[in-house]
Amino acid sequence: MFSRKTQEQIEQVLGVNDLEAFLRSTQTLVAKARMSSELRQALAKLWLLPELIESLESTSSGDLNLRYNEMISEMASLVRESLMRQRLKNEMDMASAVQKALMPPSSMDYGHFSVSGRCYAAESCGGDWWFHARRGDKLLVWIGDVLGHDIGAALVASACRGTVSALHVENIDAPVEQQMSIMNDVIYSMTKGEVYLTAICLEVDLLTGDLEIGTASHPPCIAVRGQETGSGFIETPMDPPLGLSPGHKFQRTLARLEPGQGLFLMTDGLMEVPTREGTHWREPRLMRLLSTAVMQQHHADGLIQALEQYIFSIGSGDLSDDMTYVAVHRKAA
């Protein structure tokens, strides 16, 4: 493969007795190991060592050791970086799997009411989450958006989902503003104000259609009505994000969902979906789309499908932020 002198120099630097056997063993190890292609390429630089050393036949032993050590240092750095990226990817994949397991059913009927929603992460995991469940004659719906879309945001989002589920399982019959205050204190106790989220807590009376809405700096609910009346935002007080101000007393807004009408909740990622032309669509277009859909659809899932048919037709396919949206619909009398 190369001269005996060169082989002896390399074996001395590596601390091995048989260089050819050592290189063959590394090739076998890499071939059997489960690792990224980038890491394989980094390790494969070992196999280029003979060719590199051969070109240095005329150099002194000291120069040879220096050049070799430089190459090993570069290779070690590449391997460390590749391993760190692989570990981060594994952690992101695990967080993504946990998040998906915690997501509620995408569509559900509750008597004369229906709820439907979708959640898309900009990366493998994100900070958006939502929840719905029935307690007696009340339908509870949450939507939240944790700052960021990394592992930290995913962990906080999962904690939020777990807290809401625990409140529901324990059958804590608290008004929405009190549930918001509980969530606020729980998040602050975990993050000390360094991570926070916007959110909406919505409670629907399944007998009357009466609504209680609590908000935390989140995009407001949209009352979805036909084109004659038009859809529009429901005005709510401007309370701070959850996890930012411990002990804050949240407020609630009262409204009503009439037969044949709907509610639409979203995170801000929806309005940031880029079009193929590189622009963003605007709220008036969303209002018109929802007003048209509620006249043609008789279920929350129909509203969501009409929305997705439109945004996927104009969108570029790239997400700069997590995107979640939820619809609630009441059947016409």
The number of angstroms, rounded, from the C-alpha of 242 to the middle of its chain's C-alpha atoms is 18
Do 242 and 205 sit in the same domain of this protein?
Answer: yes
Do 144 and 188 sit in the same domain of this protein?
Answer: yes
Gap between the Cα atoms of 36 and 193, Å rounded: 37
pLDDT of residue 178: 92
- Looking at the structure of the chain, the number of domains it has is 2
- Residue 126's domain is classified under what CATH number? 3.60.40.10
Do 182 and 81 sit in the same domain of this protein?
Answer: no
Please measure the distance between the N-terminal and C-terminal CA atoms of the chain and give it in whole angstroms: 87
**In the structure encoding, which two tokens stand for residue 269, read together?**
């990622």
Do 139 and 286 sit in the same domain of this protein?
Answer: yes
Contact 149, 123 (CB under 8 A): yes
Do 85 and 122 sit in the same domain of this protein?
Answer: no
| Other C-beta atoms lying within 10 Å of the C-beta of residue 60 | 9
Note whether residue 101 is domain-resident.
Answer: no
End residue of a domain, out of 95, 119, 141? 95
pLDDT of residue 130: 94
Note whether residue 100 is domain-resident.
Answer: no
Q: Where are the alpha helices (DSSP H) in the chain?
A: 4-14, 19-32, 37-44, 49-54, 61-102, 151-169, 176-191, 283-296, 300-314
Instruction: State mean pLDDT over 249-270.
Output: 96
pTM of the predicted structure, to 2 decimals: 0.71
Sign of CA dihedral 285, 252, 322, 133: negative
Write out pLDDT tens, residues 172-204.
Answer: 678 999 999 999 999 999 888 888 999 999 999
pLDDT of residue 43: 46
Contact 17, 11 (CB under 8 A): yes
Range of the structural domain that residue 178 is part of: 106-330
Write out pLDDT tens, residues 81-135.
Answer: 665 666 655 555 655 565 566 678 999 999 999 999 999 887 767 789 999 999 8
Residue 148 pLDDT exceeds 90: no
Note whether residue 176 is domain-resident.
Answer: yes
pLDDT of residue 221: 96
Do 88 and 128 sit in the same domain of this protein?
Answer: no
Do 301 and 324 sit in the same domain of this protein?
Answer: yes
Do 14 and 35 sit in the same domain of this protein?
Answer: yes
Write out pLDDT tens, residues 44-89.
Answer: 544 444 444 445 444 455 555 555 556 555 655 655 666 566 665 5
Note whether residue 187 is domain-resident.
Answer: yes
Gap between the Cα atoms of 188 and 240, Å rounded: 12
Nearest to 99 by CA among 149, 170, 171: 149
